[in-house]
Amino acid sequence: MRHTRPNAAHYVVLAVLAVAFLYPIWWAISSSFKPAADIIADPLALGGPTLDNYRAMFADVPIGTGFANTALVLAVKGAMTMIFCPLAGHAFAKYTFPGKNALFGVVLLTLMLPTLVLIIPLLLEMSALGWVNTYQALILPGSVDAFSIFWMRQVIAAIPDELIDAGRVDGASELGVFTRVVLPVIRPGLAALAVLTTMNVYNDFVWPVVAVNDTAHQTLQVVLSTLAQNVTGNRVGADFATVWGELLAAGSIAMLPLLVIFVLLQRHFISGILAGSVKG
């Protein structure tokens, strides 16, 4: 790029943008620690700090259940993605076998399939199986996804064939080559896959809200959305401020885990985001 030194205007523009991006997050988190009445009375001021909003929210909303359900879905779905997607990527990157191109074509085709088209028939399939309001309904659909396979194929294709042949010569089985030669080499790619998968599963909303309608199985995002609907339905209620306080407390606590992971592992986040753009 050009090597002209950036002037003050550059920094001002970037700083204004940065504040615009961060302020809503900061406002939500800081307001969640204010007395509920103050959120409405003076939204700009800092107040408290108090944990009243959090206490009220925990008493009102099954957010703990939401966290537990999300954690369970994340653990199983994440494990399936982390095991099966690199494995399939390895097969497409390092083997020649009859039908390979056609099968990989199918993987690429499903990349372009919008999630929305499957929602209704999947819901009917779940009810035919008796799986509405179950964990398997939340976990199985989309659990070994095409994008991750495509991405892992790119990552594994970059490994020199000599390395893999050397593993074979050493007497490793086909699976052994994968676990002892391939996996250690692609560790950074796996870390990025883990981070991106965590974000996608944690934030997933459309399918969970359709597949589950009982409190016992609701994921965190679904629990949050029911709280928001209470607010829109409760406009004339006397406790308007209290509900807002709960809303901000729930939102803040839901943001926290991913923000922490992001700040700690931002390099992996960014390479995960960029992995998508190379497919164009």
Partner 1 sequence: MRSARLSPYLFIAPFFAVFAAFGVYPLLYALQLSLTRWRGAGEAHWVGLGNYLYLLTSPDFWASLGNSAVMWLLIVPVQVVAGLGAAVLLANAKLRLRGLFRVAFIAPFVTPLVAMAQVWIVVFDQDYGLVNHVLGLFGLPAVGWLTSTVWAKPTLALLFLWKTTGFAIIILLAGLQAVPGGVYEAASIDGASRWRQFWSLTVPLVRRSTAFLVVVQTLAVFQMFAEPFVVTDGGPYGSTTTAGLYLYDHITASDLGTGAANSFLLVLLVFGLSLGAVRLLRPKDGAS
Site for partner 1 in 235-264 (CB under 8 A): 240-241, 244, 247-248, 250-252, 254-255, 258-259, 261-263
Among 53, 69, 143, 242, binds partner 1 (CB under 8 A): 143
Per-residue contact track with partner 1, 1 to 20, x per CB under 8 A?
xxxxxx---xx-xx--xxxx
Residues 104-123, interacting with partner 1 (CB under 8 A): 106-107, 110, 112-123
> Residues touching partner 1: how many (CB under 8 A)?
106
- Closest to 161 measured CA to CA, from 101, 97, 94, 96: 94
Q: Which is nearer to partner 1, 169 or 277 (CB)?
A: 277
Q: Is 140 helix (H, G, I), strand (E, B) or coil?
A: coil
Check binding of 24 to partner 1 (CB under 8 A): yes
Task: Report, in Å, the least distance between residue 194 CB and partner 1.
Answer: 14
Query: Measured at the alpha carbon of residue 106, what is the angle toward residues 102 and 110, in degrees to the nearest 5?
Result: 165
- 98 token code pair: 């009859």
Nearer to partner 1, 22 or 158 (CB): 22
Nearer Cβ to partner 1 (143/197): 143
Of 171-230, binders to partner 1 (CB under 8 A) are 173-175, 178, 199, 202-203, 205-206, 209-210, 220-221, 224-225, 227-229
**Residue 98 region, left (φ>0) first, then alpha (ψ -120 to 50), else beta?**
beta
Whether the upstream peptide bond of residue 49 has omega within 30° of 0, thus cis, is yes
How far apart are alpha carbons 217 and 203 in whole angstroms? 16
CA distance 25 to 27: 5
> Residue from 46, 51, 158, 273 that binds partner 1 (CB under 8 A)?
273
Whether the Cβ atoms of residue 226 and residue 213 lie closer than 8 Å to each other: no
Nearest one of 231, 230, 232, 212 to 222, comparing CA atoms: 212
Among 36, 69, 142, 200, indicate the residue that binds partner 1 (CB under 8 A): 142
Number of Cβ within 10 Å of residue 238's Cβ equals 7
Other beta carbons within 10 angstroms of residue 214's beta carbon come to: 9
CB distance 123 to 209 below 8 Å: no
Residue span 70-109 as binding mask against partner 1, x where in contact by CB under 8 A, dash where not: ----------x---xx-xx-xxx--x-x--x--x--xx--
Which is closer to partner 1, CB of 125 or CB of 239?
125
Nearer to partner 1, 23 or 55 (CB): 23
Task: Name the one range near partner 1 by CB under 8 A: 56-64, 140-148, 156-164, 180-188.
Answer: 140-148
170 touches partner 1 (CB under 8 A): no
* Cβ atoms 53, 40 nearer than 8 A: no
